[in-house]
Structure formats: C-alpha cells, structure tokens
Chain A
Amino acid sequence: MMKKYAMPFFFGVTAAALCAQPAAAQADTLARKTPAYPNVPAHAGRVLPLKDTVPVLFGQQPGASLVQSYGIVYGDELRNTPVTTLENTLYGKLAGLYLEQFSLNPGDDAASASLRSTTPLIVIDGVPRSGLSIDPEQVASITILKDALGTAMYGMRGQNGVILVTTRHGYNGKKRISFTAQTAVQQMVKTPKFLHAYDYASLYNEALVNDGRQAVYSAADLEAWRSGSDPLGHPDVDWYNTVLKNQAGMQRYNLNVAGGNRISRYFVDLDYLNQQGYFKTDSRNTYPTNNFYKRYIFRSNVDVDLTRSTLMNLSVYGRIRNGNEPGARTDSIFKNILSTPNNAYPVQNFDGSLAGNNQYANNIYGMATRSGYRPTYNRNLSVDLSLRQRLDGLLQGLFVKGLVSFNSYYDEALNRSKSFAVYNVAMNPGVDTVISQIGSDGQQSNSSSITSQTRQAYTELQLGYDSTFGKHGVSFTGLYYRDSYTDGNVLPLVNSAFSVRAAYNYDLKYLLEVTMAYSYNNMYSKGNRWGYFPAVGLGWNIARENWFRDAVPAISTLKLRGSYGLVGNSLKSGYYSYLQFFNFNGTYNLGNPATGVSTIGEAALANPFLTWEKARKTNIGLDVATHNDKLQFTAEYYVNKLSDLVMKRGTNASGVIGATLPAENIGRSTQRGLELSAAYREQAGVLGYYVKGNVTFARTRVDYMDEVNRRYSWNQRTGQPVGQIFGLVADGFYQSKEDVENSAALDGYNPVPGDIKYKDLNGDGTINVFDERAIGSDKPLIFYGLTAGISWKGIDLNMVWQGVGNRYINLNGSNTWEFLSNANGAPGQAMEHHLGRWTPATASAATYPRLSVNGNVNNHRTSTFWVKDASYLRLKTLELGYTLPQHWVRPLHLQSVRAFASGYNLLTFTPLDRVDPESYLGGYPNQRIINFGVNIQL
C-alpha cells in the first residue's frame, strides 16, 4: 500500500502551492472570462473572502470556516500604487496594520510595519524571510495573522503576528503574457524653508545679543547681503536648490507570463526598477554621483504533477539591487544642508575653486559632485522545492509534504569616495588677498566591504488531513520545521518547532480550531530552549441556524468567533547571552617606548535565566455579510497580555555592581484595540464600483517595568502607553522681567523674557525633571484607510485615502531649532519659522521663543511646545486608467491594452505646518510621485 505512495515526500509545496489551484489562479480564471470591459478588481471591495481560501500558516483554510483573526489583500489591490516597496502599497488597506516611513533614501524607503503595536514576522511563501522588497506583480495575496490562534504554530516566533505573502502561480489554461511599462516623476514634499542671508545674519546678531554677547555682523555686512552686491564676500547661497533638483525620475518595467496545462503550470516574472535621486551632477565626472537604485527581480514558480497524486513545486527567486550615492553620503549631505547657513561661503570662489573655510570645511556642492561615489551591490537568491503527496489510497484527504528552502543574501558596498580641498579667499582691503587651502584633493579610495551576508536553510515536513463527512468537516496538520539562519561569521540561529493544527466544524455553523507548537530556539541556555504554546478558537455562524435564516434571510453570514492562546517572542534572546563573555578591548600602551598591548574586559553580565517573552492573546471577532455578500463588515476586539518582557531592571541597579546589567524577563504590558472594516461592491453591467474602509483603535499600557523610584505619580512611566513621550508642560513665553521673577526658577539657568515658561507641577519653585509628565496624547492611536474605485466601460478610477489620529511627534534637532552648532562649532542654519520668534515688540504674536545660539538648555527641553499633533490624512494613491475597447486591440492580437496615470502622496492634510508628518527630521524628503504607465496583455 505504502509502496504506491512511496514517492519522496519530505520536500513539499510552499504554503501557496498547497492548494491544488492557488488563489491567484482563481483570480486569473476570473480575469480570463472578462467580457468587453474589465470589472472592478476581483477582490476589491471585500473584507471577507467567504468563497475563497485564505493562506494561513503552513497551509490554507476556506474563508467560511476561519476562526482566527486575519486580514487579506490581493495582488490586484496593490498594483496601482506607484512605489518601490511592497510595504508602502499597504497603507490604509488593512485594519490593525500601521505603517510609518522613517527612512526615505532610495533603496531604503520601506515603511516600518507595526501589527497590533508590534513588528510582525515576515513570511514569504511559508518561509520566514528577511526583507519584503519584491514587486507587487508577483504577489497573489498578503495575509496578516493577528491573533494567537493564527500564529501559535510558530510558538516563540508567533507573538508579533505575521505578514504572510503568497506569490502567484501558473494555472491550467491559455498562456497570458502581461507587460507593464511605467515612468514616474518624483517630487519632494515639504522641503525646509531656509532664511536668506540677510534675515539669517540679522537673526544671528539678535540671538547673540539675546545671549548677552556682541553682534558679529556689521550694518555694512547686512546691507551687502540685503542688496546682494558682494556675492563672493557676502554670499547668499540657497544650498537646497544648489545641490538638489526639483524632481527625479523613476521607471519600472514588468513582464510576466503565466499559464500551463494539466501536468505543469508556471508563472514567470521579470521586473526592473530604476529610481533616481535628487542630487545634481557635474558633467565632468565620468562616474555617477547621484543616488540611484536599480532593482532586477526574477521569479519562476513552477508546479508539476509528477504523478496524479504528486505535486512538485519549484520556486526560484533572484533579486539584484544596485545602488549608488555620492562619496560624501546622502545622509551627511542632508545633515550639512541643515547646518550650513546661506551666508557661510559661496559655492565657488572667483577663480572657480570650491569655496569653504575652517568653520564650514565641507562645500556641499563639492560633497554632492566631487566626493567620488559609493556603489552598493546586493544579491539575493531563494530556491524553494516542495513535494506534496496525496495519500488518498490510505485515507481520503490525507497527504504528506516536504519543503526545503535555501535563501542567501549578500550585500556589498564599494567605497570610491575621495576628499576634496576647499579654498578660503580672504580679501583684505589694501593688503594682499590671502587664499588658504582647507583639506586636500585626495586620491579616490577603492575598497569593498561586505555589509551583510546571510544564509538560511529551512526544512519542513508536514502531514495533513482534510475531509468532510456529511456535515462534519475535519482537518489536521502536524509538522516539524527547522529554520537555520546564519548572519556572517556567527553561529546559526536555529528556530524549530513541532506544530499542530486541528480543526472541526459542523456544517460550517459551529467551528472549533486548536493550534499549538512545541518550539525551540538555540540561543537560550540548555534546558530552557523548548517551549509549549497552545491556542484555541471557537466560532458560531448564526446565519446558518435555520431560525435565523428564516428571520433575517438577507444576512448570509453572521459569524461570532473568539480565540485565546499563548505565543512567545524569542527575538530578544541575544547571542548566547546565557554565557558570560569577555571582550578584547582597546590596547594599553605599556613601556618605553609605549607598545600597545591588547586588553581584556568583562562583557555585559550573562543571564542564564533569560527566556522568551510571552503573550496571552484574546481575540473576539464578528463577521457580517449581507445582500449576496456585497456588503461586508467585520469587527475585532483584542486584548494581549504581555509578560516576561525583556528589559533592564530599574531598581537594585546601582552602578556599584561595576558591570553592565543583563536584560531580564521583567516587564508586563497590555495591548488592546478595536478594528473595524467594511466593504461594499457592486457590478451592474458596464458600471462597477466598490468602497472599502477600515479603522483601528490601538492602545498599549505598561503594566510593570521595575521602574526606578519616581518621586511623583505623574513622573511614572508605568501605567502609560509604551514609548510615551515625557516632558515639561510649556506655559507660553516669559513676557517680562516681572514674569520671570514671579515664576519658578530653573536649575542653573536664568530665564529672560521670550524664553519658554514651564509649569511647576510639584510646586517646589524649581523646574526640573520632577515637573515632567506624559505629554502628547495618551489616547489610543487611531488609523484608518478608505479604498474606493469605480469602473465604467473602459474607464476605471481607484483611490486610497489613509490617515492617523492621536499621533504625536517630538520635533527637535537642526530641522527645528536655530543656529545649532555644526561639527566645527560654527552656527548652523535657520529657517523661516524662526522669524516668528519672540522679541519685545512682537511679544504677543510670537510663535517661537527668543533666539539664542548653540542651543538653549531651557527652550530646547522636551516639552509640549515641541511635541506636536502629527495626525494626518493623505490621498495616498489615485489612479485613473483607460482600457482600450476590445475591437481596437483584437486585430493587433492583443488581449487588452490599458493606459493609466497614478499619483502617490498627492494630498496631505495635517496640523503640522512646515514638516511632513513622516519625514520630519530634515533628512531625505518624503515624495510625491506622478506616474504614467501602460499595460499590454496578450
């Protein structure tokens, strides 16, 4: 009996390949039936895939029987956002998934995802993998798994939730070739508004006088800047526009082919992306200095039925990412722009040499064009091979499958930078002009370094069973997986688990599901490496009760479901942190002549008791579908109780111990939230439309953190949201000397009128750390999204709105404050919002404290003055498309031709007046993208 099925089975399919006909293939089937005009995207306007199967961990489940908490979007909902990274296509699309973009540098601009207030694990085709940078054309669907039931099979990797990406596969049918070409223009949004030299110098003089010092710029200097009569001696350089272009291009080309027959099916995808940066270039350079990011992606997913019951899947994925930046580095140039006033030096001297001086020794134009270049090369290869053997002869619905996946990641950086000299020209009337050189024109370096090199070997062996007896539906999955991940030359991190899922339903009316894992991590001390994580879920589809059906026939689904379980987080295990290590430290120079001898010191203390963090997660959900499933609604309420959180203790932590205390399992916190989603779609002849919205309320609370002894209740972090900003409460500006005298004093600072006044919370007459309290908002973070589309004949229009509420950011640093010293101690830049500073004359209208140089210990303290409401609403994506009538394209032997125009970050509404709510520190700016493209299918 076994012989017949004794084909090798320990290689299996990926999660997506598990289904005989993947979700994407179904979508394709739908698409191929397309009549004269395209409908709205097959999955748009749905939040409950009731008739589809949903990819879940280690398999898939029918949407109708799901008990766990999840959210899903399909590839065709992502493709109309013209961005480089997959993360950024998800804005506003899924309840519970919060995105925020911290870095915007080309090639490094993926938004950071937070799923129910934690950073989720990213799983691509069933294998946890680092990095999501794949193109949306490959994506069949993205599922987010939110509760313990959904992730307990990952055991101590399951606590943070999962973003599960499933790629497209071929199908049994006519081959379809799709080609898309797009070209886009990127534009900066909300660039800083720097002061012209005259205003700058006037304000600097004012700030010096405010600080009790002499003004340095004479009336003649100011007049020279005002009139612009002496551009070399009194320069006024708009550095932003001197080194940055207004816009930069981006192109993308994608070709994919899908099809197959009964024996084998294939999906092949090629994608090319070229994103340019904003730096101006010098035509004399024979090499590129501007940023660019070029990405080449290849994927081939092939499914072959080796026998009638044996399915083999081979997925090969390759990615090359080549980047470039000026030798002086992108971040450094933006930093210099923020710290270089318009009057610092001219771009070039009278003789064409780069200008500069001892205080501002980096000519920014030189940094952008004469500092060489730094290419980066990144290569990725993933190969997944799986075999799935049905064992129906043994038991109807039984199968085994095996999967091996190998992933390698290689990141290399070349340094071809060089130093350059700048020249200071001192024009002394009546004396010789003195030209002095600062720095030197160095030779171009040429060195290569491996920034990152990782390899991952993943193996999985699974036994599954799925069957229905009358009204009883039963499924079972048992598996073992081992995931070995090696980063450079350290020993591999090994995660493994024995996992089980068992589900039972009666007539899809009563649903029961149990998942569990016995999971392992090799970084914990021996005897503490295995943990057990169970979860259970129950569901009741009331709409399938006869009495309900009779009473309310319009409601086809009314599912009440709940889950509870334990999951863990082993990410903070450290590197063998249970072992006490010693480090080689710096050298000590013993002897005469001094000879360096390496020395040894104790590393941070080991903690042999360290274990994984734990979360007990409760989730209650309600799914409703009415009007033939056209109107759908789902609500989730969750409470996650986190414990054993890894942190440093606050008490009994005296420095007298003489060593760095280890991280310990100390903290407890709670995450709770409410997620609501609703969707409606309609297709009536040539008119189709859909609308889909979601809103999430998420809050966190620190329950315990072994906090230091705080003197006052308002100083306490315990009980506040995780990561709550603390600071002083600003109370306007001191308006007069009397005002200063009648207010609380500050430690070592004598305030003057125009300084920020703070509230003395403890009433001790002194402003200090005891007057700091939680500032910003302690209300739940609210984020929401609205996706809507309409199609009429050949025209389609789609848009995504996305917003956040109760979000506060702390504005500080050189993109906010005036005259902060640069690296050489010289004053930095100032901006237009500093014109609203307090002066005796403008006291009542002042929007900014009185100016001072080199920072101000009073005014620059974290306070409600700088912590700003950063709520926003964006028109994230808008796309207008036109599909040519079939009778035009048919004669050309084309299936369809669609032209489209799309935009990204088109509109932003925010109470922040001068910065972008996501890119607010003055680095690489956030961007608006205007994109044009055409898609041809044959």
Chain B
Amino acid sequence: MQRKYFLYIIAGLCTVQTACKRTLETEPQDRLTEELVFDEIDKNADNAKAFLLGTYNLLPAISNRIGNTLLDATTDDGMASNDGDRSNDYRLGRISPLNVLDNSWDNSYKGIRQANMFLSKIDRVPTTDELKKQWKAEARFLRAFFYFELMKRWGGVPLVGDKVFGFRENINLSRNSLEETKNYIVSELDAVKDNLQPNIMSDGEVGRANKGAALALKARVLLYWASPLYNEGSEAQRWTDAANASKDVIDLGVYSLATAYIDMFIAGKSTEMIFAKMQAPSQTLEQQNGPVGYLNAAAGKGLTSPSQNLVDAFPMDNGLPITDPLSGYDAANPYAKRDPRLDATILYNGKKWLNRPVETYEGGLDKPGGIVTQTKTGYYMRKFMGKFESTAAYANTTRHMIHFRYAETLLSYAEALNEAQGPVKAVYDNLVLIRKRAGIKAGANNLYGLPAGVTDKAVMRKIIQNERRIEMAFEEQRFWDIRRWKIAAAVMNQPVEGMKIDKQANGTFTYTRFNAASSVFDATRMYWYPIPYAEIETNPNMRQNEGWGY
C-alpha cells in the first residue's frame, strides 16, 4: 500500500519536473538577437530595415534641446527665458570638460557603430542587391553625418573605419586630425552619392538620404573647411572647392525654393527640403516657445526670447537695412514694413497670434511681470510654428527638422563664390533668389534692396552673413556660423538687447532698447568644444582641445 503511494508520487513529481522543462524555452525567444535582425531567410529584410531606420532615428532634432531652449538662443540671436537655464552656461563661460552641453559624442559614435554594424551584416540578408547597395550607401551617409556632428564640435576625432568593437577590445583610440576627419567624410560622400536614391523620391520614401543629401552635406563640410576657423592658412582653393560643392547641388536641377517661406517649415515635403530628421506631428514646439499669456490648449511657456539684435538684422520690406536713412524705418513703429521673414520668425508686440495681438509691453498679457517665466527681450519665437494666427488653440503640426534645405545651398554658394571670386553676378543672383522668395520688394533695379555694384568682397561678406542669419534664424546655423567665421568673440561679447515697450495712456507705445543679458566668449578656447572629461579620464590617448586645461 505504502509502496503504491510512493510510486504515484514519484511519478507525479517526475511529470511536474519534466513538464516544467518542456513548456518554457530555456532561453528567451521573444527577444531580438542578431540572427533575427539580420535574418538569413527574411526576403523582405524588415528587421534589417528597421535597424537602419534606428540609425536615422539617432539624427539630431532641432528642438528645445539645450537647457530649455534652442541652440541658437545661446548666440546673439536670443536667450533663454528661464532664469538659471542651463543654456546660459555658454553665455556665462561655464562650459568645461565636465559640462559639455550639447554633448553628442556618445550619440554620434552610437550612430557610427550602428551604421558599421549594418554594413557588416546586411549581406547576410537575402534581399535584392540593388536595395542592399542603396541601404549601404544610406548607412555610409549617416556615418558621415555623425562624423560631421563630431567634427563641427570638437575638430578631429577618432576615426573607427568599418570597425565594430567588441567590448574587450582596446578602444583607447587617439584623435585623427581635423583634415583626416574632413577627408574621410568627403571621401565617403563621394563614394556613396551615386548609390543613393535619386532626388525625386516617392512619397513613402521621403526622409531617406538621397543624392542631394550627400551633396549638400559635402557642400556644408567643405564650406566649413574653407571658413576662417578651419582655414588657418586662408587657402583660397578651399573656397573654390566649397563653391563647386554647392554648385553640384544646384546643378542637380531638382531643387527650388518653396513658394512660401513660412509654409516650408510645416510641410511634409517640399522642393526645398533636401534632408530632414522626420518627426511625428506635434505641438511641443508651440507649447514650449509660445507666448505665456494664453491658457489651456493655447498655453505657451515662452522659453525662448529672440533678441533685439536679431530683430534689427531684418531689413525693411524694400530690402534696405534699418540703419539706412532711406529705408523708411520708424523707431516709433519699429515692426512696420519689415522683411516678411520677421513676421515668420518673431512674435512681437501687436502681432496677431491666436486671435489677439501679442502683448509684450510691460504689464501686457504676455509680459505680466512678477515671477512668471516670460520673455526677457520683449519678443517670442515664431519660427517653425504652425499658422496659429487666427485659431483658438494649438494643434499638432507636421514639422520635420530640416538639416539641409535649398536656401542654405544658395547662401553657401554665394558665400563661397564671393570669397573665391569676389561679388560676381552669380553672388547677386543667388541672394536675389532668396530675397525674392522672402517677399522683399524688387525695387527699381531689381536687386531687392541689395546695394548695386559692390566690389569689395568684405562688404558683400557682411551682406551674405546677415542674409544667412535672418534666413536661417534658429535653424542651428548661427551657432556654428559665428564660430567658423571666427566672429563669435566679437558678436558674443556684446550684450543681448531687448526692447522695453511701455503702453501709453492714449494706447500708443514707446520703445526703449535695453541690455537683456551680457555674454562672455573666451576666444582662446571656446571656438571648439572641450572633449568630455569622461573621455579624457577613461582614455589616456585622448588629447584635450586647446585652452580647456583638463
């Protein structure tokens, strides 16, 4: 009897034990492994495609990503509205190897690793050779893009080639020179540009890197390479190379300026958009930067305060700078008859927004005083936002973060050509294209306010630099431009101005400029970022940039 029980229970126990072993796998099959991502039997290559898109996803976005504001709000174009915003660290000279704001080091190398991994594994996947060729070119484009992200911050950086490091390998790499880094990027772009998709893509493919993207990146790299910060020996040939690279983009013949400047930033695609980080529709940008006097679904935090300096850079609608006595600028009515791009870039006092005029006069709804975070300059940012002039609330808006657009190509071409050849006709022509699209009046001489017959390239350089500043405001160009032009020491050491607006009893306003913030820019070291200290202390071969000390 007892023996019978014994056997029953032994049998039962064995069943339980074996059953446990058979019902569950011994290693998780629900997680993706390399074999599943680069699947040897997946004809559609879905996972490999998703892996490549994961690399796209590491591209930087233009957003309130520095402290609580945009990168360009750390230049003379604006400032953060929050007191104690971390973006002020640039202005106050608090950047150090231990405080590298905008530290894209790890993210860029992550992108490079993913691209390399994709390149080394994709051949296993049984999709078409044509597609593989195109994807590999995209991966190499992205890798070049990430290297440029590193290069514009730190100069020469370690080049890892096609290597995908194992975790036990020696990764104490030394930095390559700036020139080696530049050469690598350019050679990669030259190698892949013809394998990328053609420039007119089906709607479903918008967002992928195409030939235009590769040429535009190359043009940007060579433009930087020719600029004073990079071009210490002032080699003229570099400007010629840069001009030719921009000309290559123009000569593709597929891009043109979008008709409406303001619409281009909120379009799903346009003839002007060359390459963008693609974004889902959202209203984050409006909520973060919109004026603070609205409520509920129209509420904004007003985190970015554009500067009076930037407002002053916009010419009148006749194209003449406001300092020109003939421009018609009225200091008592400073926003009238201005370049229409001002309306597209800045929310100023009296401009209609969300069904009422913006009130940035002292005590106005959008500048109420007290403890509220509000504009520090009398202005809010308008750029990139949807057309909410006459709506009651914000709504989700498509807004891709455009890294390359055709207007920049034209400006770069004009800049490089002016440096290489002086203010020749093509320089004028390209500036005219930009100004015409902007809505500036043609004028009797059809020069859209440009001074005729400039022969001094220095004079034309100022004009081009100003045009680039206002056309590309807040697009993360100004921050790098003032560095590569080596004018940061000059423009950053002057105060950021604001406009104090007082409402008079009769309803008119008086305007008083004031210094909203002062900045310091240490020219001995701040043109390049410091290498993050985490790199220095883990890697004995890592050399710090000049002037940073540790």
Interface, chain A (partner B; CB < 8 A): 3, 6-8, 10-11, 204, 211, 213, 216, 358-359, 436-440, 457, 459, 484, 490-492, 522, 575-576, 579-602, 605, 607, 650-659, 661-662, 708-711, 747-749, 768-770, 821, 824-827, 853-855, 857
Contacts and interface: CB of A to CB of B under 8 A. Distances in A.
A7 B6 contact: yes
A583 B50 contact: no
A824 B83 CA distance: 12
B51 A582 contact: yes
A598 B51 CA distance: 9
B96 A600 contact: no
28 contacts: A7-B6, A358-B299, A359-B371, A437-B295, A484-B20, A522-B26, A576-B27, A582-B33, A586-B57, A588-B57, A590-B53, A590-B208, A594-B279, A599-B57, A600-B37, A601-B57, A652-B172, A652-B538, A655-B106, A655-B534, A656-B160, A656-B535, A658-B160, A708-B534, A748-B89, A768-B550, A825-B373, A854-B82
Given A491-B26, A594-B398, 6 more contacts: A585-B57, A587-B280, A591-B204, A595-B204, A658-B111, A709-B536
A656 B371 contact: no
B28 A590 contact: no
B6 A591 contact: no
A654 B167 CA distance: 11
B228 interface: no
Interface stretch (B112-120, B235-243, B332-340, B387-395): B112-120
B24 to A, nearest CB: 6
A709 B538 contact: yes
Interface in B386-434: 398, 400
Given A591-B206, A600-B37, A854-B83, A747 B94 contact: yes
Interface string B101-117: 00001100111111011
Contacts of B114: 601-602, 658
Contact of A599 (B2, B51, B92, B535): B51
B456 to A, nearest CB: 39
A457 B536 CA distance: 50
A591 B33 contact: no
Contacts, number: 241
A185 B3 CA distance: 59
B167 A662 contact: yes
B358 to A, nearest CB: 16
A662 B292 CA distance: 45
B490 interface: no
B2 A3 contact: yes
B182 interface: no
B131 interface: no
B542 A654 contact: yes
A588 B400 CA distance: 11
B204 to A, nearest CB: 5
Contact of B203 (A6, A575, A591, A600): A591
Contacts of A484: 20
B306 interface: no
Contacts of A659: 110, 113, 165, 167
B479 to A, nearest CB: 18
A932 B28 CA distance: 54
A204 B83 CA distance: 14
B281 A594 contact: yes
Contact of B372 (A575, A584, A826): A826
Given A491-B25, A708-B537, A658 B278 contact: no
B95 to A, nearest CB: 7
B13 interface: yes
Q: Which 10 A-B pairs have the closest CB atoms?
A: A658-B113, A748-B94, A854-B84, A599-B54, A592-B268, A582-B32, A708-B537, A658-B109, A655-B106, A653-B538
B24 A589 contact: no
Contacts of B537: 650, 708-710
A459 B301 CA distance: 60
A586 B99 CA distance: 28
Interface in B77-95: 82-84, 89, 92-95
B175 to A, nearest CB: 10
B296 interface: yes
A611 to B, nearest CB: 15
B254 interface: no
Nearest to A581: B31
Interface string B267-299: 011000000001111000000000010011001
B369 A216 contact: yes
A5 B167 CA distance: 57
B191 to A, nearest CB: 21
Interface of B: 2-3, 5-6, 9-10, 13, 20, 24-28, 31-34, 36-37, 47, 50-51, 53-54, 56-57, 68, 82-84, 89, 92-96, 98-99, 105-106, 109-114, 116-117, 158, 160, 165, 167, 170-173, 203-208, 268-269, 278-281, 292, 295-296, 299, 301, 369-373, 398, 400, 532-540, 542, 550
A156 to B, nearest CB: 19
Contact of A654 (B205, B207, B539): B539
A7 B398 contact: no
Given A7-B5, A591-B203, A592-B203, A657 B113 contact: yes
B368 to A, nearest CB: 9
Given A216-B369, A854-B84, A655 B535 contact: yes
A709 B234 CA distance: 39
Contacts of A768: 96, 98, 550
Contact of B54 (A3, A585, A652, A710): A585
B524 to A, nearest CB: 14
A150 B110 CA distance: 47
Contacts of B204: 590-592, 595
Given A580-B34, A582-B51, A602-B117, A216 B370 contact: yes
A653 B109 CA distance: 13
B83 A658 contact: no
Contacts of A748: 89, 92-96, 99
Contacts of B206: 590-592
A437 B296 contact: yes
B94 A8 contact: no
A601 B113 contact: no
B92 A770 contact: no
A657 to B, nearest CB: 5
A656 B165 CA distance: 9
Nearest to A357: B372
Contact of A607 (B6, B20, B167): B167
Contacts of A853: 83-84
Greatest chain A CB density within 10 A among B9, B10, B278, B398 is at B278
A358 B366 CA distance: 12
Contacts of B31: 576, 579, 581-582
A575 B535 CA distance: 29
A590 B207 contact: yes
A598 B94 CA distance: 39
A594 B268 contact: yes
A343 to B, nearest CB: 10
B54 A600 contact: yes
Contacts of B10: 10
A253 B206 CA distance: 69
A661 B5 contact: no
Contact of A588 (B53, B371, B373): B53
Contacts of A657: 109, 113, 165, 167, 171
B382 to A, nearest CB: 21
B288 to A, nearest CB: 11
Nearest to A662: B167
Identify which of B34, B68, B82 gathers the most chain A CB atoms within 10 Å of its CB.
B34
Given A6-B6, A592-B206, A655-B105, A436 B84 contact: no
A656 B158 contact: yes
A130 B345 CA distance: 59
B54 A601 contact: yes
Contact of A770 (B269, B536, B550): B550
Contacts of A710: 537
